[in-house]
Structure 1
Amino acid sequence: MAHILLVDDDVELAGMLRDYLDGDGFTATAVHDGEAGVAEALSGRYAIVVLDVMMPKLSGVEVLRRIRAASQVPVLMLTAKGDDMDRIVGLELGADDYVPKPCLPRELAARLRAILRRTQAAESASAPLCVGPLAVYPEQRRVEWQGSSVDLTSTEFNLLEVLARNAGRPVSKGALCEQALGRPLARFDRSIDVHLSSIRHKLGLLADGRSCIQTVFRQGYQLIRE
């Protein structure tokens, strides 16, 4: 039974989501300010964090920044409906996914299960994936570039693993969204592009100066072999 941390200053909404998740196979704990959210998220007691962006004093974005400075625990952001900037900033800082508010508790539970399934599936795989200077260790959820460790978020790791398993051939954005984020690709959804931009930034360049992740026109993204 996965333990979920809810961080939202809306006490009524957080209570409703907690009660729904408790009745749907999870154990949920709610806190209502950013400082408490950071402390709880870094306690090691939770499988995943649900974090509201709009909070007073310490915003959800700053909470996420502090969590990512010390932990790779999966984080799902609750964002205002239609606020693309909050979503993009959250993804760039390392959020694994987002759900617009107001959200259906059933959709939130489905997103949480999708993230947890991906995490558990990756942990069950054992064979390392080596492509040029890149080494992906699914069992340990660890990545190395030229022998040095690379710090990736849970979703970034999932995306890179999918590309590594398909090295040398393009993978569509739709397939990446389904396999790495656990949901269909929505129209105008830039999540995949933002995550891959972050991965490119964290990985080094190949000997010829190119990124190992290439955009293939009208086909998607490809992890190239040297």
Structure 2
Amino acid sequence: MNTTPLHVLIVDDDPGIRQVIAFALEDAGMRTTEVDSGQRAVAELRRLDPDMVILDIGMPGIDGFETCRAIRQISGVPVLFLTARDEEINRVLGFELGADDYVTKPFSPRELVLRVRAILTRLRGGRQDEEILRHHALEMVPARHRCTLGGVAVDLTATEFQVLAAQLRAGARVLSRDRLIRLIYGDSAQHSGRTIDSHIRNVRHKAAAMGYPDVIATVHGVGVKLGTCRN
């Protein structure tokens, strides 16, 4: 059995906040590495291959949004944003860049630990162990975070992967945005429909770039469903 603790990369220019986060995560049995800039975050991501990144948006120089863009060019690692700006436009922009969740400052360390665990559980746990999902050109192996279209790998973030897997499991059924939010974030989630739309848009864009423009289809006034997955 693998007993290696989960490794979280903490990126914030405030050493006090980094220390609070590191203490809370380490107290929960995780391992942490702290960096104070976006440049160092990308370098350490390449070197350490952590299980997750906690990323402050409001850093000087390269901010969290630019850092997330750089991370997404090399990795699908889960990213949780720390933000002092709780306006929906900033949250949606973060999800469009490939973030998996966000926590608003000031935050409860306990809530932060719960969010981290929830993201990693969605990615790693439950019914994923032996599951292989297929529909025409689309194949997903959740336990390996592997998704292919026509045999070619699709680079999805953790939440984008869960969105597409939920559609694949639903088959021909239409899923409302509220239902998708509950499936991915849990029954107590308070994310908006615009949040899930950002992830759906990202999945569609990546699939369309590979020649599959109809992976997720919209049923106007109802929700979304799995498309034909044919090019």
The count of aligned residue pairs is 224
**What's the CA shift for 1:122?**
7.0
**What's the CA shift for 1:75?**
0.8
| Aligned mate of 1:22, from 22, 26, 32 | 26
Amino acid at match of 1:220: G
**What's the CA shift for 1:181?**
3.3
Q: Does 1:212 align with 2:215?
A: yes
2:12–2:55 contact (8 Å) kept in structure 1:
yes
Q: Does 1:53 align with 2:89?
A: no
**What's the CA shift for 1:27?**
2.2
**What's the CA shift for 1:145?**
1.9
Matched position secondary structure for 2:143: coil
| Aligned mate of 2:146, from 136, 139, 142 | 142
Q: Does 1:42 align with 2:55?
A: no
Matched position secondary structure for 2:134: strand
1:122–1:139 contact (8 Å) kept in structure 2:
no
Q: Does 1:222 align with 2:218?
A: no
Greater CA drift, 87-96 or 190-199 = 87-96
Greater CA drift, 17-26 or 151-160 = 17-26
Change (3 A) 1:187 1:177: closer
In 2, Cα distance between the equivalents of 1:195 and 1:14? 28
| Aligned mate of 1:172, from 134, 154, 176 | 176
Amino acid at match of 2:218: T
Q: Does 1:108 align with 2:108?
A: no
Q: Which residue number in structure 1 is paired with residue 79 of structure 2?
A: 75
Q: Which residue number in structure 1 is paired with residue 90 of structure 2?
A: 86
Q: Deviations over 1:136-166 (max 9, x none)?
A: 2223222222332221111101111111011
**What's the CA shift for 1:170?**
1.4
In 1, Cα distance between the equivalents of 2:188 and 2:113? 16
Greater CA drift, 40-49 or 89-98 = 40-49
Can you give the 5+ residue segments of structure 1 that lack an aligned partner in the other structure?
A: none
**What's the CA shift for 1:48?**
0.6
In 2, Cα distance between the equivalents of 1:97 and 1:31? 20
Q: Does 1:193 align with 2:197?
A: yes
Change (3 A) 1:200 1:184: farther
Q: Does 1:203 align with 2:192?
A: no
Aligned-pair Cα RMSD in Å: 2.4
**What's the CA shift for 1:89?**
2.1
In 2, Cα distance between the equivalents of 1:36 and 1:58? 10
**What's the CA shift for 1:105?**
1.1
Can you give the 5+ residue segments of structure 2 that lack an aligned partner in the other structure?
A: none
Greater CA drift, 41-50 or 157-166 = 41-50
In 2, Cα distance between the equivalents of 1:6 and 1:175? 31
**What's the CA shift for 1:184?**
3.5
Change (3 A) 1:184 1:216: farther
TM-score when normalising by structure 1? 0.88
2:207–2:213 contact (8 Å) kept in structure 1:
no
